Amino acid sequence: MNAPITLIPLIVEKLPVEQYAAALQHLYEQTPSYWHMYNLPGAPAGQAQRDLYEAAGVEGRTMLGIAQRVDRLDPQAGATLVGLVDFRLHWPSQQTAYVGMMLVAEPQQRQGIGRKAWRLLQQWLRKSTEITTVRLGVEQFNPAALQFFQQVGFTLTGEAQRMRVGDKFVRLLYMEQVLRTTPSPVVSGDAELAAE
């Protein structure tokens, strides 16, 4: 059985971005297949720091690290960053959240970590926000991501868009998941972001 995971904010007011940049860069380096999809040999140097600074400047955008305990039975043993969920609240509309990236380090893939992380974020969105719908775009050439998001309840909307990424054009297929049909009052701002 896997060690428990927790979602931790990587952008925290009054903490320097550099606090998590090295750990995030290491995570990026643990996902070479992601970068190969964009014809890159690996994660560009300094990419994590650039991403953290960019996210910090966008209202409603949050980068949550997926932290996994080093020792399943000992919470004091610490944790390691094994993934990332990058999302933005109230975008592109007030009741919508947009997931820009969900990434799990390749050595930890296919262990249920992404599914647990999505379930935690989904529960938090339901309990702590008035978000009714979550949207995301999956690269057309990424069938594993498409399958993953379908398995956790997202459906294709029929919308697609070509986007320029570096020197390449990428077709994003849009997906969404309805959390509820009408906004509900926020029950708790402190919904649990940890799972066994």
Answer whether residue 186 is part of any domain: yes
Q: Quick one: pLDDT at residue 187?
A: 57
Q: Quick one: pLDDT at residue 67?
A: 93
**Maximum Cα–Cα distance across the chain:** 47
SS3 of 94-140: the string is CCEEEEEEEEECHHHCCCCHHHHHHHHHHHHHHHHCCCCEEEEEEEC
Q: What is the CATH number of the domain that holds 18?
A: 3.40.630.30
C-alpha span between 170 and 3 (Å, rounded)? 35
CB 120, CB 193: distance < 8 Å: yes
Quote the tokens at residue 177.
């998941």
Strands 155-165 and 96-104: unpaired
C-alpha span between 49 and 23 (Å, rounded)? 10
Domain count, the chain: 1
Do you find a cis peptide bond into 92, omega within 30 degrees of 0? yes
pLDDT in tens, the chain (196 residues): 577 888 989 876 656 677 889 999 999 999 999 999 888 899 999 999 999 999 989 999 999 999 998 888 887 778 899 999 999 999 999 999 999 999 999 999 999 999 999 999 999 999 999 999 999 999 998 999 999 999 999 999 999 999 987 777 889 999 999 999 887 766 555 555 655 5
Answer whether residue 22 is part of any domain: yes
C-alpha span between 186 and 132 (Å, rounded)? 12
Domain range for 50: 5-191
In the chain, the N- to C-terminal Cα span, in Å, equals 9
Answer whether residue 196 is part of any domain: no
Q: Quick one: pLDDT at residue 19?
A: 80
